Each structure stands twice: as structure tokens, then as C-alpha cells.
Structure 1
Amino acid sequence: MEDPAATIQAEERTYCQDTCAPLKAAARAGTLDLLAWGHDLYPGRSFEKHMVPEVRSVGTWNAPRKQDWGMDWHRNTGLEFGYVERGKLGFALETDSWLLHTGTLTLTRPFQRHRLGHPGIEASTYHWLLLDVGATGPQSEWHWPEWLVCSATDLQRFAALMQSHETPVWHGNAEVARCFSRIRAALLLPEPEQVAARLKLHINELVVGVLDLLDQQEHASQALPGAYRTVELFLHHLTGHLEQPWTLNSMAEHCNLGRSQFSHYCLSITNMTPIDHLNHQRLNLARQLLDQYLELSITEISNRCGFNSSQYFANSFKAREGCTPSEYRKRRFGGLSGRVPTL
């Protein structure tokens, strides 16, 4: 949810006011149920300016079927919490993308470029909270709302954990699910003052719950068995060897593990099955090659990325990007030819 009140200059582009029009239109058309509160032009009911001004937007949607819209690339000036209660949802941040499943938590730092949709919104129940932490840039210091009762040490720890982890995708737990459920219940209260008061309470609970979750998952990663670290190292170097004809068996054998054990560790590390993660990385590479090397044919790119056929590559690319590789290149560069400078 991009801050409608903000104009952000980044990467020689200006990200201007956004009204979250696709989400509002879907709610008006009745293709999903929307429950939301916020400030300025965000969807749902509006708070008065003095009421929890740090809560830029908070809400839940229930999409009973796949939607023909998505939230395109945008940046927030605040910290965004997202949680998939049911279904699945496409999510991308910078150059990486995920298909989120039930119980997945996302944490997007201020000014990180991201989008929701694959490219359309899948059938899902999704919660979000966009919280202003006083950030003035990607590396600036955070200033939490005064009504957060966490200790200064805890809040500094939260910000440090967020800055030290590259992944925005986490495995949620029962406490995080309960926090979002309580926030949703608060949004149903009839009076704005009641909503604002309950939100302060439940956002405090959410911040503590998420901090505990981050701590637990960090401590778990520090005490991981050797096999886990072997898989982690293998996946890190996999991006340099995507042209090889990897299978689940060959990847597991490379790590001297059985299929089930390798799959378990891969899912824990990436939130994807091994084959899904392999295809995810191959498609990332394909998009880079399409952007940077116009002299390469689609077949050459398919081979370099390790796809066993150009048709399978085209189908996989279209499933994720919403268009074939040829269409993608045509939309971006038209009739240009030759090497394109690295972006």
C-alpha cells in the first residue's frame, strides 16, 4: 500500500500520490469484501487527523476468487506488515518474488519497492498494517509511535533485525495470527475512538509477537544442524549454475541428503519446494537476460537458464509475469536490438 500522501524520489523516478484505486474498485464491484481504516486517500473508513496518525492504513480483504487486478510496484514511507490468513498471494520485492501461502508473514521496510499480485490477486484473505515509523529514507533512523509501550531496547532490536535480514518473508505463528484477528475485530467497532484505542493495544501486541518471532527464527538459524547449513550454502551458489539439468534427486545428492530431508530444509530456508525455488531463480535470471541482452534469442535464454524446452520456459514465464518472454521484451524495448546496458 503506497502512501497516498507521499511523493517519493527514488532511482531517478518519482513515486507520486496513489489512491489504491484497484482495491477500491474491486470493493465497489463486490468482487471482494474490504474492511479497512486509514488516513488521507487510503481505502476504507477515514480516521480524523488526530487519531492514531501513525496508522496510515490497516485492513483486511477477503477475495473469494481470483481477481483481475493487482497492486503494482510501489514504495511505502512506513513499515508494512502483511499476513495471508487463507489462500495464496503473489508478492515481489525488488528483484525477487514469492507465492505466499496460508500463514505467511511479510515485513516490508520503508522505501522498499514491492508489489502484490501474480500479476492478479489470488483467492485469499489478507491482512495489512502500514505503520509510520518516521523514516525519511531507506537508511534513516526509525522513530516509533509514542504509544508503543515496548522498551527502547526492544524497538531498537526490532529495527536492527529488520535491517540485518534480506528476506521480507517469514513463517508466521499462532500468536501473529491472533494479533491480526484482534486487529480485524477492532476495525468492526462502530466508533472511530473505539477503533483507535483498540488498535493501539493490538498493534503493541503485534510488534511484541513479531519481535519474538524474529528472535526465535534468528536463534534457530544460529543453531542449525550441519545439514541445514549445507543446503543453505548449496542454494546460495545455485544461482551460478542454473543451466545444469537439476532434479530433486540431483540436488539432494549434491548435498548428501535424502529427498525428504533436502526438501524439508529447502522449504524452511526459502518457503518454497526445491523445484519451485529452482524455477523461481531461473525465471529471475531469464528476466535479467531479457532486459540486458537483446541479441540473445528466446531459445538461447531458455537454455542458459536451464529450461528443458522453450515452450516450458514460455509457459512458466507467462504464469509468473503475465506475458510470454517475447511479449515482455517487446513491451520493454519494442524494436530495439543489440546489448542493453546493465540496469
Structure 2
Amino acid sequence: MEHKPTVFVSSDYRYVCDTCEPLKRGISRGEIAWVGFRRGLYPGCEFASEELEGVRLCAYWDSRRRQTWKLPYHRNEGLEIGFVSRGSAEFSADRQGGKYDVLTPECVAVTKPWQEHSVGNPFLGACKMFFLIIDFGVRRPNQDWEWPSWISLGKADRFEFSRRMQNMGESIFKSSPEMRGVFARIGKILDFGSPESCVSELAVLFNRLLLELLNAFRGEQAEYSQSAPNESVVRCFIEQLEAHCAAPWTLEDMAEDCGLKPTRFTYYCRVLANATPMELLNAARLERARKILDGDGGLGNLSMTELALSCGFSSSQYFSTKFRQKFGVSPRDYRARSLPDAARGREKSGVGARVKGVANAGA
């Protein structure tokens, strides 16, 4: 189905471009030092070697003063490990609750593939912070991880690591002296070495870090829930539904996109949002229509029929009925209230006659 909101995407450009823009602007203005190698759309030097497959980014930033920008909530395609070696940084993986934790050298931040997170509250502070992103081919939280060949963890450790990452609710863990030593050595390689000539050492360092993280997961006794992967799938789907609400969704389509049976998908919708899937779909469509009527996206001059169809409703009559039930007024009256005075005058004088005429027929 075209235009449906996949839970995760297989290419990184949809999320990474937005993620990197504040950082890229800070780098270009000379506000922050950035050293590292990357694959894809992240800032830094391209890693030319085909070895260390799956490593998308290994870098650090050095911010010597408080900035006037932050990294807003965003997603990355891989497991991301963040470590502050100097200073501190506010970090959040809790968009809904808005809770931020302060990262210091005593802790490490770990986000699962495609998990939303933010750095800076309200702005990025003075700190040196390392980032390591490894892509395990995960496009759904309950999908099996594809482990790169250079990772030497045993089969049992790999399984435990991925399951803990899929199910845990925590993102902040205590850093060990071993972790801090690994990042110090990575910093030396980034500063003075050539990543292509240090592949073996980097592979050893990354493996040591993954093993230390597994030990941290065990020691922290992180929150662990067998239902968390499926909940994460449905939560991500709901979060993206408004942007793709025009698609002709059925219950079966939505459930299939999340890899679940319709009954199980409905169960998780009720658990997460206290609503059925179709109720959530209608709510997303109505919210999108309201934003358009408020002028978002420059589409405020659509007729009622055009607006209804663009938001996924089959007819303007049904759309108007549902809109009135939710917002207490018809779409046409809502738009009239939202129009600036000058625009309202133009519509009364006939400039908006085409829109108004269609609206009379459909609202």
C-alpha cells in the first residue's frame, strides 16, 4: 500500500536529515567541534572501508560553551551509544513524559534502533560527547537482529543483548571504568589515527563496549517486559498515523503493517490509547483536517470535498458529521473562525466563492 506509515523505514534519510541539521549548522558556524567517521547522511568523514559493516557513525562533538540549539527528538536506524567524557548534557528518551536525565562521565545513554531521543534541554550544554551507531538491520522492534560479522559476542550473549534491548524500559546506565577507557581510546584514534588503518583495534574496542553494556544491563536489572516489542511497534504506528492518514486503511492493513493479528493489534491500541484502531484513524484524520483549516501547509483554501478526500474520508458529508461531533462546529464554520480578518473579507467579497460553493454542497 502506498503512503502508509511503516513502523520503521529501511533507509535513514527520512529521520537522519532532520536529526543532523541543527548539528550541521553548529559545525558550519564554528560553534562546535565535530570529529569522526560515518556512513550515510551523518556529518563527518566518509568511512571508505567495507569493513566494520553496520557501523554508521563513530564520532564526538566538543562544545566548549552552552549553545543556542539542541538535538530535538529524532530517530536513528541503529543501536546508539552516547557517552559524555567531559561536562554534562541533558538527555531524554521519553517524549511523552518530557523527562530529561543529565548525562555525565558516570553514565552512558543507550537507545534501541528507531527509539526517539533528544539531547539538550532547552539547549545543548558545554560537553564532549561521543556517539557510536551500529545498524543491526532492525526495522521493527520485534525483528531478529542481524549481527555484523566483526562482532565476536557468543550466540547466547547476542540473543540476550538483543532481547534486553528490545524489552527494557531504561536508557541510562552506569558507565564502568572499562567503558570510559574504551571511549578515551576511540577519541585518540579519531584525533590522530586513520579509521581505515585502525579497523582491527576499533573492532576490539566496539566488542569490549558491547560486552560492558551487556554486563550493565544485567547489573542494572532494567525493566523487562515480554510485551514491550509489540507495544513499541503499535506506539510508533500511532505516532505516525496522522501524517499518512489519507491512505485507505482497514483494520487488517494496519495490523499487517505492525506484524500482528487484528485482535492483538486492537488489544495494544486499547492498552496504549484507550481506543480502537478505527477510532484512532478517525481521530488522526480529523486532527489533520483541523490543522489544514488552521492554515498549516498552505492548504487552507481547499474545498470541503477536497479537504475530506485529502484526509482519507470517503465523502464530505461524513467528514462534516464527524468533524462537528469532535469539535462542536462544522468544518466551514471552523475555517471562518480561523481566517484572518483580511482573508475573511476577501471570502465575503467573492474571492472564496468557489470554495464556499463547494462547501455548501458538502458540509
TM-score (normalised: structure 2): 0.55
Counterpart residue number, 2:278: none
Following the alignment from structure 1 to structure 2, what is the Cα–Cα distance between the partners of residues 101 and 73? 16
Query: How many pairs align?
Result: 219
Larger radius of gyration: 2
RMSD: 3.0
The Cα shift of 1:168 comes to 0.7
Look up the SS of the partner of 1:57 in the other structure.
Answer: strand
Map 1:212-223 onto structure 2 (within 5 A).
212-218=215-221
Confirm or deny: 8 A CA contact 2:52 2:150 kept in the other structure: no
In the alignment, residue 191 of structure 1 is paired with which amino acid?
S
Q: CA deviation at 1:127?
A: 0.9
- Is the alpha carbon distance of 1:151 and 1:135 closer, same or farther for their aligned partners in structure 2, counting shifts above 3 Å? same
Q: Deviations over 1:122-181 (max 9, x none)?
A: 111111100011112122111111111110111111112223320111121211111111
The 3 A distance-change label for structure 1 pair 180 and 17 is closer
Counterpart-to-counterpart distance in 2, 1:41 and 1:196:
21
Shift of 1:189: 4.1
Q: How much has 1:190 moved relative to structure 2?
A: 3.9
Which residue of 2 is the match for residue 18 of structure 1?
A: 17
For 1:13-162, list aligned pairs within 5 A: 15-18=14-17, 20-48=20-48, 50-93=50-93, 94-96=95-97, 97-102=99-104, 103-162=106-165
> Unaligned regions of 5+ residues in structure 1, if any?
1-7, 223-329, 333-337
Q: Per chain length, whose mean CA-contact separation is higher, i.e. which structure has more relative contact order (CA < 8 Å, sep 6+)?
A: 2
Instruction: Report the secondary structure of 2:160's partner residue.
Output: helix
Q: Secondary structure at the match of 1:18?
A: helix
Does the residue aligned with 1:176 lie in a helix, a strand or coil?
helix
In structure 2, the CA distance between the partners of 1:16 and 1:163, relative to structure 1 (3 Å rule), is closer
Query: Is 1:188 aligned with 2:187?
Result: no
Over 3 Å counting, the alpha-carbon distance change for 1:196 and 1:339 in structure 2 is: farther
TM-score by length of 1: 0.57
| Counterpart in the other structure of 1:324 | none
Q: 1:57 to 1:77 in 2, by over 3 A?
A: same
CA deviation digits over 1:276-332, x for unaligned, max 9? xxxxxxxxxxxxxxxxxxxxxxxxxxxxxxxxxxxxxxxxxxxxxxxxxxxxxx9x9
CA distance in 2, matches of 1:195, 1:95: 41
Tell me, yes or no, if the aligned pair for 1:90 and 1:100 is still in contact at 8 Å: yes
What is the match of residue 167 of structure 2?
164
Q: 1:25 deviation in Å?
A: 2.3
SS state at 1:121 partner: coil
SS at match of 2:69: coil
Specify the code of the residue in structure 1 equivalent to 2:85: E
Residue identity (%): 27
Question: 89-98 vs 64-73, which deviates more?
Answer: 89-98
SS at match of 1:122: coil
CA distance in 1, matches of 2:169, 2:126: 27
CA contact (8 A) 2:15 2:75 kept: no
Cα deviation for residue 10 of structure 1 reads 4.2
Normalized per residue, the structure richer in helix is 2
1:298-317 matches, within 5 Å, as none
